[in-house]
Amino acid sequence: MTKKVIRINEATIRFAGDSGDGMQLTGTRFTEATAIVGNDLKTIPNYPSEIRAPLGTLAGVSAFQLMFGSSRVFTPGDLPDTLVAMNPAALKVHLKDLKKGGTVLANANAFSLKNLKMAGWEGNPLEDGSLEGYTVYSIEMSKLVGKALESSDLTSKGIERTKNMFALGVLFWMYNRPVEPTEAWLRKKFGKNPAIAEANITAMKTGFNYGETTEIFTTSYAVEKADLPKGKYRNITGNVAVAYGLVAAAKKAGKELFLGSYPITPASEILHTLSGLRNHAVKTFQAEDEIAGIASAIGASYAGDLACTTTSGPGMALKTEAIGLAIITELPLVIVNVQRGGPSTGMPTKMEQSDLLQAVHGRNSDAQIPVITAQDPADCFDCAFEAARVALKYMTPVILLTDGYLGQGSGPWLIPDPKSLPEIKVTHPDSSARGENGFMPYSRDENEARPWALPGTPGLEHRIGGLEKENITGMVSQDPENHQLMTDIRARKITRITQEIPPSEIFGKAKGKVLVIGWGSTHGSIHVAVDRVQAEGKSVSQLHLRWVSPFPSDLKEICDNFDEILIPEVNSGQLSLLLKADLVRPIHQLNKVRGEPFRASEIEEKINEILG
Amino acid sequence: MSETIQGIEELNLTRKDFVPGNEVRWCPGCGDYSVLANMQKTLPVMGVKKENYAFISGIGCSSRFPYYMDTYGFHSIHGRAPAIASGVKLANPDLAVWVITGDGDGFSIGGNHMIHVLRRNIDLNIMLFNNRIYGLTKGQYSPTSQLGMKTKSSPYGSIDRPFNPSAIALGANATFISRALDVDAKGLQESIKRAQRHKGAAFIEVYQNCIIFNDGEFADGESKATRPDNALFVTHGEPMIFGKEHDKGIIMKDHHPKVVTLGGDWSEKDLLVHDETNSIITNLLLEMTFDPLNPTPFGILRAIEAPTYDEMLTAQIEDVIEAKGEGTLESLFYSGDVWEVK
Ligand SMILES: Cc1ncc(C[n+]2csc(CCOP(=O)(O)OP(=O)(O)O)c2C)c(N)n1
Ligand code: SF4
Ligand SMILES: [Mg+2]
């Protein structure tokens, strides 16, 4: 029987199973194969905060979603077209998201009475008609891999574990992806244990052949290559991209990189990645807490390293006082907050954009700080690099906001030519900077940055600290005039950073009815929504802010050209609050805090509602 | 000990080189003055270039110290100096880094950083000014204040049981612990020298009189008249002898240190001999601290060798570079599965 191949433009797949079923790995392998085919894509994992929630429970379901397509893909997709459900709990949790008429691929062997009951199913949905309206492939995956690996040396448990590779094989067939890259990857990963490698490969191929030969599958899908900018690509998560951006900035500045950090979800991968880069002379210091993380970074910065600290919301709260110290001592520092749901411990593995006000204003006193935000995983590289560049140029701490969705999510990264990255000029005064009256640690250059005099430089011995300092001399001063002056200088220096912000790009016309403004990871869903509404011939444009402190200087002018402004945010309206104060005009808000990103459709609806 | 370490002559530093022009602003009679003077006197003979000293402090009266040293200095935030100093040392291992802290700064708000910096054995020196009071905030009890002490925040007497910082340092596996009295120039200088030479985290506890809020706290030791009978100055390899007439010593009785009078039944060879490398001896000395039947021990209580964090970091970087080759941005960027769009 020859099978039909249907060309489609894009597809969204969600892999869901028990935490122990290896869904993250399965999703990642599908992603790599898809990237190699040349599709554009975005991915997002969704896993429980418990490392090993009880087997088969709703709490223990782990999922991974990706969207891929033959044109640009801006989000990991709203509702999946295909749901892989390795057990009843996975189906229970994720069925509600599946597109109408979507496809379910289930491991029938996992739908035992016990598992069904644990997941809260009355009967067996694979058999009792609960899935009417969907295309259901109920496959005895466990049994099939058991058969295929009958002669293998693996234990029956070990064999059972390869069922995710079977599912992957079926999907490779269904979407016409190559199995070879995964085959090579498995051989490398289990190099020391070839039996496991071969078993997994056999399982994957059995799945592929199952799609090819059994009659239950009649159709497979092909997604053409996307028209991506030319160049070499790799898939990258936001957290790895941040790490690479910092390494690149350090190299371009001729500095050693120091990271002071304390583990926290969803930021830890930055610490992990940088800890593995000792051959890049990266110094990672796993501190005793987040305060020590930033404090050690401040010390390293004082002594001349490019220093950074990485964390998520609760850790950010702990760093607050030390950020003030970096502000008043005017030392360069990159502070990365991979935001998660809060307050307090909140929802560690779920995304949120609710630390914006904390970043911009969350300190005692008037303590301005530049805040840059990344819009997609690959953009995390550019933003980390830019944060470091600005920190070094202006002698200031800089906050980089990403979130769990960006940090853990991935997308293709057009690998930059290292030579094309800008050099970062850093100068340290030498002994000649000592004048007749000594060295002046609070004198300033054309950007009002103070000199970065390093301990060890003869003749420039001086003292800095958290007490207010006299302008120019740096002596301790509690003089009222001086405090006013220093407060003004510190604020002016940050405002001056607007000169680093290129003219804002608007997606759509520069004048019109509705302007949708976003920041951070909402970029993709806003873009898709605006694109769809524009396609209906309606007047809507998108402006995405990269710097949220200071704001770009053309912001007000751009806003003045639109009748209405809409700000969708995964918080209760924080950018809206800042912009209302800045623009003094009403703003439409679209806010949700459900631990998940916006669906483009939600934004689309809101735009249409405003357009009337 | 002779002070002709190589290079000292060429450096040609004197006390004056470490005295900046500004006015020192501690209360007249504060114990901090003596510590400052002895630091300024000792550093010139350590064989370290002046520009290589960095003094990092937290917040408190004592933490103003860096402003009074003409070296690199960083007066930071309350309790965090050990962490900041760790970063300084890791960024530039050539620096001689000193942490200046108080009993509140180092053992209340900053207690966590203190134990970890000692545990890691980062090569820096920590000087704790223990005046058993919060001086800068005008006299509240601290974690080292004695039970019953009346202060602004304990008008009916403190019910907050104190601890012994040097014992915590030992518990944190510190490789160097010494104790000195603010008025004892010789003891201070000895501690400063040994700490500066020690490879690893060196902890010095200074008993410091706060003349305003806790005057006389260490009177038994401070007064020249009573000191000999109340303070035991230990020296490595020497028997533990004290007293005006050098006639008292420490023996071990029923697993406890006990004071005996030399002459009659006891001679020097019955006495405990100090061993700064033996943590059981250090522990025993520290147990004597609050014991009214025993003198308070001072001197180098512990000094052992152990690998330092900074050394291990540098070595690990070198090893990995040797094994993998020096990383380039190309090798980093292309470390995953790469595909090309033509
Ligand atoms: C975060 C913070 N909390 C509280 C204070 C107020 N404060 C400053 S110094 C100090 C106690 C200092 O005591 P200690 O460390 O013993 O130093 P001393 O003044 O006795 O030398 C306190 C509570 C502060 N500066 N910062
Ligand atoms: S308050 Fe006490 S510790 Fe502070 S300067 Fe005065 S005497 Fe010294
Ligand atoms: Mg004190």
Distance B137 CA to ligand 1 centre (A): 6
Is residue B4 scored above 90 in pLDDT? no
What pLDDT is attached to residue B336? 78
What pLDDT is attached to residue B198? 98
Residue B276 Cβ inside 6 Å of ligand 1? The answer reads no
Q: Do residues A408 and A271 both lie within one domain?
A: yes
% of chain B surpassing 90 pLDDT: 93
Chain A interface mutation, best of B72, B94, B311, highest count of A Cβ atoms under 10 Å = B72
How far apart CA A534 and CA A537 sit, in angstroms, is 5
Chain B interface mutation, best of A43, A183, A239, A302, highest count of B Cβ atoms under 10 Å = A302
Residue A398 lies in a domain: yes
Task: Write the DSSP string, A88-128.
Answer: HHHHHHHGGGSPTT-EEEEEGGG--HHHHHHHT-SS-TTTS
**In the structure, what pLDDT confidence band is assigned to residue B145 with cuts at 50, 70 and 90?**
very high
Measure Cα distances from A230 to A261, A527, B238 in Å. Answer: 37, 22, 77
pLDDT < 50 regions, chain A:
none
Q: Do residues A169 and A74 both lie within one domain?
A: yes
| Domain CATH for A369 | 3.40.50.970
What residue has token string 């690479």?
A: A244
Which of A191, A223, A255 is a domain's end point?
A: A223
Q: Do residues A354 and A263 both lie within one domain?
A: yes
Residue A433 lies in a domain: no
Return the ligand 2 atom nearest residue B27 CA. 6
Distance B61 CA to ligand 2 centre (A): 6
Is residue B2 scored above 50 in pLDDT? no
Which of A405, A420, A435 is a domain's end point?
A: A420
What pLDDT is attached to residue A453? 98
Q: Do residues A210 and A243 both lie within one domain?
A: no
How far apart CA A566 and CA A562 sit, in angstroms, is 10
Q: Do residues A562 and A605 both lie within one domain?
A: yes
Return the ligand 1 atom nearest residue B107 CA. 15
Q: Which of A280, A383, A391 is nearest to A334 (CA)?
A: A391
Residue A595 lies in a domain: yes
What pLDDT is attached to residue A46? 83
Structure tokens at A213: 């030969």
What pLDDT is attached to residue B3? 42
Q: Name, in order, each residue with C-beta under 8 angstroms of B62's C-beta and a sequence gap of 6 or more.
A: B32, B100, B101, B102, B105, B129, B131, B135, B208
| Domain CATH for A537 | 3.40.50.920
- Is-contact B100 B71, C-beta < 8 A? no
What pLDDT is attached to residue B1? 35
Q: For residue A607, how far is the Cα from the chain centroid?
A: 25
Count of the separate structural domains present in chain A: 3
Does the ipTM surpass 0.95? yes
pTM over 0.80: yes
Q: Do residues A215 and A241 both lie within one domain?
A: no
Q: Do residues A294 and A346 both lie within one domain?
A: yes
Residue A203 lies in a domain: yes
Q: Do residues A161 and A261 both lie within one domain?
A: no
Q: Do residues A19 and A158 both lie within one domain?
A: yes
Distance B209 CA to ligand 3 centre (A): 9
- Is-contact A487 A366, C-beta < 8 A? yes
As a dihedral over the C-alpha atoms of residue A395, residue A389, residue A426, residue A273, rounded to 10 degrees, the angle is: 110
Contacts of A329 in chain B (CB under 8 A): 74
Q: Do residues A209 and A239 both lie within one domain?
A: no
Average model confidence (pLDDT) across chain B: 95
CA distance A147 to chain B (A): 32
Identify the three-state secondary structure at position A593: coil
Which of B83, B94, B338 is the closest to A232 by Cβ?
B338
Residue A172 lies in a domain: yes
Q: Do residues A33 and A129 both lie within one domain?
A: yes
Q: Name, in order, each residue with C-beta under 8 angstroms of A317's C-beta and a sequence gap of 6 or more.
A: A358, A362
What residue has token string 């850790």?
A: A315
Residue B75 Cβ inside 6 Å of ligand 1? The answer reads no
Give me the CATH code for the B8-217 domain, please. 3.40.50.970
Neighbours of ion ligand 3 (CB under 5 A): B 102-103, 131
Q: Do residues A117 and A178 both lie within one domain?
A: yes
Which of B51, B319, B337 is the closest to A234 by Cβ?
B337
What pLDDT is attached to residue B279? 97
Residue A474 lies in a domain: no
Is residue B9 scored above 70 in pLDDT? no
What pLDDT is attached to residue A369? 98
| Domain CATH for A134 | 3.40.920.10
How far apart CA B312 and CA A168 sit, in angstroms, is 44
Residue A498 lies in a domain: no
The string of pLDDT tens digits covering residues B268-284 is 999 999 999 999 999 99
Is residue B7 scored above 60 in pLDDT? no
What residue has token string 């059972």?
A: A160
Q: Name, in order, each residue with C-beta under 8 angstroms of B287's C-beta and a sequence gap of 6 or more.
A: B167, B257
Residue A463 lies in a domain: no
Question: Residue A21: which domain range?
Answer: 4-223
